[in-house]
Structures are given as C-alpha cells and as structure tokens.
Amino acid sequence: MSIPLDPEKTLKLARYDHLNKTAVPGQILFAGSSLMEQFPVHEFQLGAGLSSIIYNRGVGGFTTAEMLEHMETCVYALKPARIFLNIGTNDMNPADYRKEELMARYEKMVQEILARLPGVQLTLLAYYPVNHDAAPDDSWFFYRTNERIHEANEAVEALAEKYHLGFLDLNAPLTDENGNLKAEFTIDGVHMYPNGYWEVWKQLVKIP
C-alpha cells in the first residue's frame, strides 16, 4: 500500500514529472529531502563553468520510505550519469526511530539505483549536523540529535564501502566547536541559508 503524501509533496512531484520531459540524459542529479531541495545548485553552477547540467529533485519532508515509492520521478526518469544522494534525516525525527530500519530502506534504494542505472556514479552524502540552540522551535526535530546523525553517517559510509560507492562528509566547515551546525548558516536549526550551502559547494566542485 502506497504512503499518502501531503498536497505540497504531491504538487512538487507533478511539477518534476513535467520538468523531466525536457531533462537532458547523462547529467548530474541531486536527490533527497529538503536539505537537497534547498541546495541552490542552479545559481551556483552558473558561475562554475561546468560541462554538465545539475538537476535538483529534492522533496522537502521526504523519508526514505516515501522516496522509494517515487524513484521514477526523482531519479530514473532523468537517466543521470552521476547522482549525489542525501536522504534519511526525516527518518530520524520520531522518538522510536531505529537506525537499522533506516539503513535497510537506504540499502534497498542503493540496490535499485544500481540495478536500474548500470554504470551510474553514485555518491552518498553525510547528513549535516543540527543546532537545537539556534532553533526558534526545535519540537519538530527534537529527537534528531547530532548523536543520531553521527551514528547514521557511520552506517551510510559503511553502506557506500559495501557497494563501492562514493561517500562525502563535507561537514567540517559547517560545524562549530561543539559539533553543532554553525548558527550563522542555519535558518531553523536544520535547514541552511545559501552561505552554508556555499561551503558545501566549494568542496563538491573539487571532486573529480
């Protein structure tokens, strides 16, 4: 049985379906949840002199379970040559979150991508830290702690190693001395202003 989506996610997916009809195959894809959706790659790539197009198919609020049901729209329809994936932070929000369940879904996603897109260059991104102190209201991500994120990042890195994929932890310039997301980069303790994404982008463009 499919997972019901809220109207905003449904509309976003419909919009992506239309955009996918004009997408150029063999390009670069950013996919995941809001932390990927809000990455201003369109603006950043304009001044980077890249030979490839970067498409963004992030969907705010997406969990791994939801993304698994919409891989055609968010990934396969674009026929990308390279994928950067950041998905799973919303799975950490519930009090009863279990890392093993997250990673089982993440591994299923990886397996499907590799089966559907032979030869694709898949890179898994480390989850960004959070900052509860910088949040006007942290009730919606109260249980998404940096401890959970750190443990999940170790598991994602192990998954990448298992399937011989890329893994990138680009968090160093985002993190303060206490291991939190720097306050000057964050809107609400989780999501970032463009200045935070710029720190990530500067590292990404150096990756061959």
Q: What is the mean pLDDT of residues 39-45?
A: 95
Q: 3-class secondary structure for 157-169?
A: HHHHHHCCCEEEC
89-128 pLDDT per residue, tens: 999 999 999 999 999 999 999 999 999 999 999 999 999 9
Q: Domain-by-domain residue ranges, the chain? A: 27-54+69-88+95-204
Q: Considering the chain, what is the average pLDDT of its residues?
A: 97
Q: Which two tokens stand for residue 105?
A: 């879904």
Question: What's the CATH code, domain 27-54+69-88+95-204?
Answer: 3.40.50.1110
**What does pTM read for this prediction?**
0.95
User: Per-residue pLDDT tens for 60-80?
Assistant: 999 999 999 999 999 999 999
Whole-angstrom distance, CA of residue 31 vs CA of residue 208: 19
Contacts of 168 (CB under 8 A, 6+ apart): 84, 123, 124, 125, 126, 203, 204, 207
